[in-house]
Amino acid sequence: MSQCVFCLIAAGKIPASKVYEDERAIAFMDIVPLRPAHVLVINKRHAQYVHDLNDDERNHLFAVANKVGQALRASAFKPAAVHFNISDGKAAHQTVPHVHLHVLPRYQHDSLAFVGSLFAKPLWMLKGGVSRATLERQAQEIRNHMP
């Protein structure tokens, strides 16, 4: 889909700080992260909902997300846990209509900060998110630990 921002990333037409890429999927830094090291994993072929992916695509999406989770755990971000999330539809706050799996670090007792960042996100969006240099640094650190 020519107007879909994640299709543009998949086609290499707009910048993304990539953690991983193969012929079917890409993992890249979220431009308005809920916290440092917030990664998105997408299937390259456009599909809005999880049920629009075929079994291979769905399995591969999660296989890549799993590798990103492993890399996060091994990286300097040292999360105590990893959060995997898919918002599958508008009512679940899916804002980009192209399936994407959020992978992000969680820490002990961070629930309040985590929920706070969800509320603060619209403000960060207005400010345009994090600098490309910061996203590139974080992507490099995670890339260095990809299994």
Q: Which residues are catalytic?
A: 100
Q: Closer to ligand AMP at the Cβ: 34 or 71?
A: 34
**For 116, which DSSP code?**
H
Which residue from 46, 73, 106, 145 is in contact with Zn ion, where contact means CB under 5 A?
Answer: 46
Contact 98/48 with Cβ under 8 angstroms? Answer: yes
Residues 6+ apart with CB under 8 A from 18: 26, 27, 28, 139, 143
Which residue from 7, 34, 41, 101 is in contact with Zn ion, where contact means CB under 5 A?
Answer: 7
Segment lying near ligand AMP (by CB under 6 A), choices 48-56, 60-68, 72-80, 92-100:
92-100
Tell me the closest approach of the beta carbon of residue 80 to Zn ion, in angstroms.
33
4 touches ligand AMP by CB under 6 A: no
32 touches ligand AMP by CB under 6 A: yes
31 touches ligand AMP by CB under 6 A: yes
48 touches ligand AMP by CB under 6 A: no
Which residues are at the interface with Zn ion (CB under 5 A)? 1, 4, 6-7, 46, 98
